[in-house]
Structure 1
Amino acid sequence: MAYQTITLRPGRVEDVETIHAALRKLASHSGARQEIKSTAEDLRRYGFRENPACSALIAEVDGEFAGLCLHFPIFSTWLGRPGVYVQDLYVEHRFRGRQIGKKLLRRIAKQCLEAGGAYLRLSVDTDNETAKAFYENLGIGWSRYEQVRKIVGEAFLAFADAPEERR
């Protein structure tokens, strides 16, 4: 195979369709395609505004989309320091095995560190043994004292819109 150049760059608004397509592929690979409710317009609206809710780092091989890392800033009250949460890490199947995922995560960690951050956090689909092994190999281990919880959809709306209780 001829040498190919891997480039990392920030995602741009014109990447929205590609980013969303990658997220759909990631969900399909995880067996959760039906869980994707977002649209490319949602990513455009929330990821490319003045104070974006998330950012993307794009990997390209010789100018062709190869993968992405979707992330956003977080803060640890226990550490007293900012960090970064990796929401989605995706590498196109034909580009796997070239350490693109590792390069994406390292760049995000470096950017976090340069901004005063002290940690990287992510979650892994419970059935994705390949991802678990990948993260363990990089030294990204399980948190022994946390378990992710969430509330979405109708349950979230009902919870958020419930009247304040008076005591």
Structure 2
Amino acid sequence: MSTVVSFRIAELKDSEEILRALRSLAKSIGIPRRLKSTREDIETAGFGPRREFTVMLAEANGGIAGICLYFPMFSTWMGKPGLYIQDLFVHEECRSARIGEKLLRYVAWTAQNQGYHYLRLTVDHGNHAGARFYLRHGFQPAKDETMYRLDGAAFEEFCSGN
């Protein structure tokens, strides 16, 4: 028997559920302390006057089964807009119903219908199950670039010109 899944864009009232999913994601890949976001961060950045991201929710069996948090980006190389998938997570008890695939396909379909041309994401080095999932669905590791990050004290120092 197939699980019936529905999708909807998250609302402010879903902030705690989004944070619960992010905590579960961080715990499942062994980096629970790396998650610094609070409910207030989710509310401000996701539902405030300057929306930094969108969350698509997958609902099944009367509750939230998974989330996909994403935001627009633009490739100067392709000359096209796309979506960056920041987080994709399905709760453990819902994983056998292919909800992750359905959620990702729904986000891709929605993106295509809104004029976006590609999806992009990164996978944490220790997230082997996530890497296998994306490879199985046609994503390929980028061989022509490496992501770099400037954050924390280094970001503050750089901004101050020191």
TM-score, length basis structure 2? 0.95
Output the CA distance in 2 between the equivalents of 1:115 and 1:161: 39
Q: Counterpart of 1:115?
A: 114
**Number of aligned residue pairs:** 162
SS in 1 for 2:44: helix
Output the CA distance in 1 between the equivalents of 2:82 and 2:73: 5
Output the CA distance in 2 between the equivalents of 1:45 and 1:70: 15
Q: RMSD of the alignment, in Å? A: 1.3
Output the CA distance in 2 between the equivalents of 1:161 and 1:56: 33
TM-score, length basis structure 1? 0.92
Structure 1 residue 153: Cα displacement: 1.2
Identify the range of structure 1 (66-75 vs 31-40) with the bigger mean alpha-carbon deviation.
Answer: 31-40
Q: Counterpart of 2:140?
A: 141
Q: Counterpart of 2:9?
A: 10
Output the CA distance in 2 between the equivalents of 1:135 and 1:157: 34
**What amino acid maps onto 1:89 in structure 2?**
L
Structure 1 residue 120: Cα displacement: 0.2
Identify the range of structure 1 (17-26 vs 109-118) with the bigger mean alpha-carbon deviation.
Answer: 109-118
Identify the range of structure 1 (9-18 vs 147-156) with the bigger mean alpha-carbon deviation.
Answer: 147-156
Structure 1 residue 55: Cα displacement: 0.6
Matches within 5 A, 1:1-167: 4-162=3-161
Structure 1 residue 50: Cα displacement: 3.4
Structure 1 residue 56: Cα displacement: 0.2
Deviations 1:81-101 (A, max 9, x none): 100000000000000021111
Q: Structure 2: give runs of 5+ residues left out of the alignment.
A: none
Larger Rg: 1
SS in 2 for 1:157: helix
**What amino acid maps onto 2:66 in structure 1?**
G
Deviations 1:44-94 (A, max 9, x none): 001112331001000111321111000000000111110000000000000
